Amino acid sequence: MIINMNIKKIIINILERAIQIFIIFVLYCSVLAGILFRMLIIGGGLFIFLKEYFWISWYLADPTIFSKNLVFCWLNSYLHIPFFFSDIWLYLKVMIFIVGLILFIISLTNLVIGFKRKIGLIQERIYKRIRHPQNLSIIIMAFPLFLYHGFRMGNFVSWVQFIFLMIIYSDIGDIKLKKKYPEEFQSYYENSGFFLPRVLPYRISYYFSAVYNKKFRYPLLLSIYILCIYMLYQLFLVLPFYWI
């Protein structure tokens, strides 16, 4: 009898939670649709661009590849390590995607609630420490998608390029927020990080800021990008890559 009562309580609690979630969804669905649609267009559009038209991203990494045999290009090579063809690598990619998806849901939920409450500049929960958690989640989810089949150097390079594009897109978001909330954003900017919680003091990160010092930031980003491509090419020369 006691067991039956406990089961009934559990069922009732589950139903109550389900009703609450449904009510919240109905109340917030309009805001959710607007935010989610923009994210899918921008994040998904960039991903499709790099995934389906990979040769464009490859050309940005190495403009000389079109004068060579694309089949035997270094970007078309796979890393010959059994781990990247094992079930463990598959499970790891699934876990990485799930982590990104959870972060996306959390950040999206906080964003929707903030917009619905019309609190202005959202600085609550995860947004208190990170300004662009939703963009970080898209980068994380994109990693296993880019490297869906083994570890091809060109796909990894495309993912690296995707990160830089998301950085630029996030910079645009910061600039818009600065214009919309000039005083409030200043305090928020000083106490929050970009994709990760703030590590460098504000007086140092100020010199790398897209909001206050973009003339220095983008040449620096370009230099970092070129260095990343160079390092990846050196890895290609050292590690056991092969062509299919």
| Alpha-helix runs per DSSP H in 148-195 | 153-180, 182-191
Which backbone phi and psi does 152 adopt, to 5 degrees? Answer: -90, 130
Residue 191, amino acid: N
pLDDT of res. 47: 55
Q: Which tokens belong to 15? A: 């139903």
pLDDT of res. 26: 45
pLDDT of res. 234: 92
What's the pLDDT tens digit per position in 148-160?
Answer: 777 888 888 888 8
Q: Are 100 and 138 in contact (CB under 8 A)?
A: yes
Give the structural domain span for 157. 2-242
Token pair 């200043």: residue: 186
For residues 234 and 218, give the distance between their C-alpha atoms in angstroms, rounded to a whole number. Answer: 24
Per the DSSP assignment, residues forming a β-bridge with 130 are 193
Q: Average model confidence (pLDDT) for the chain?
A: 75
Number of domains in the chain: 1
Residue 199, amino acid: V
> Exposed, middle or buried, 162 (CB in 10 Å: 0-12/13-18/19+)?
buried
Instruction: Kindly list the distances between the CA atom of residue 96 and the CA atoms of 40, 46, 59, 210, in Å, as whole numbers in the listed order.
Output: 19, 20, 28, 29
Q: Which tokens belong to 44? A: 């998904």
What's the pLDDT tens digit per position in 86-139?
Answer: 888 888 888 998 898 888 888 877 777 766 666 667 777 788 888 888 888 888
Residue 116, amino acid: K
Residue 168 has pLDDT above 50, yes or no: yes
